[in-house]
Chains A and B, each alone.
Chain A
Amino acid sequence: MSNSVTVKYFGAIAEQTGISGETLELTHDLQNASQIKAYCIHKYNLNDQETIQVAINQELNDQGTVKEGDEIALLPPFAGG
């Protein structure tokens, strides 16, 4: 059975990944926001790692546990206004 989450990328991060999002299978080592962030940073060799924030289901949450069906987002620094 599939046990996956959606990961979305924005701004400078999407530019580096070359995609706006993907489906990620949750494994033993991919259970929380911090692990997913580390996984993506490694996979895409992302710059400015310390500025990346994570949202789980549209709420900033760098540490929370994720579950099947969640929407995870990797967000670069905000630049509104």
Chain B
Amino acid sequence: MSNKKPKKVFVDGPISPDKIATSIANHQSKTNIGAHSIFLGQVRADEIEGKTVTAIEYSAYEEMADKAFHEIRESAFEKFDLTCSHIYHSLGTVKAGEICLFVFTSSAHRKAAIEACNYLVEEIKANVPVFGKELFEDETHQWKVNH
């Protein structure tokens, strides 16, 4: 499954529920699949020192991020018996309650799909140069850090 072409991961703004539904529907013709696993990252309205996060503005070192996404995806195919995998991440402003990350793995059986999905999410959070500016309602901000 290696030598796959790098796929476009970044989308402008939030990931729409329609995109997720369409993505699921697109796999109905692949009848060797027996299990899908989906992770959806949603912007949380954190309260920090009395102020509430209203949105996150995402930016990225896109050239490096595209390479990192590709490598992470390749390594998932090496580690797990996957039929396919998809990653979408937002750039720009995503409001609290909207989706900013969509990871979708499919396999013949549930275990590979679930484990690969988890692996991809953890790798993305740790190794992809995406930056998030948490915007508060009073127009101040702070920079998000993954833990």
Please give the residue numbers on chain A whose beta carbons come within 8 Å of chain B beta carbons, in ascending order. 8, 10-12, 51, 55, 58-59, 73, 75-81
Question: Once the chains bind, are B129 and A55 in contact (CB under 8 Å)?
Answer: yes
Q: How far is the CA of A58 from the CA of B67 in the complex (A)?
A: 8
Question: Once the chains bind, are B143 and A81 in contact (CB under 8 Å)?
Answer: no
Question: Once the chains bind, are B143 and A80 in contact (CB under 8 Å)?
Answer: no
Question: Once the chains bind, are B64 and A73 in contact (CB under 8 Å)?
Answer: yes
Q: How far is the CA of A77 from the CA of B129 in the complex (A)?
A: 8
Question: Once the chains bind, are B64 and A79 in contact (CB under 8 Å)?
Answer: no
With contacts A11-B143, A12-B143 taken as known, whether A79 is within 8 angstroms of B63 at the C-beta atoms is no
With contacts A12-B131, A12-B143 taken as known, whether A78 is within 8 angstroms of B59 at the C-beta atoms is no
Which residues of the partner chain A approach B130 to less than 8 Å between Cβ atoms?
78-81
Question: Once the chains bind, are B64 and A58 in contact (CB under 8 Å)?
Answer: yes
**Is residue B133 contacting chain A, with contact meaning CB distance below 8 A?**
yes
Which residues of the partner chain A approach B7 to less than 8 Å between Cβ atoms?
none
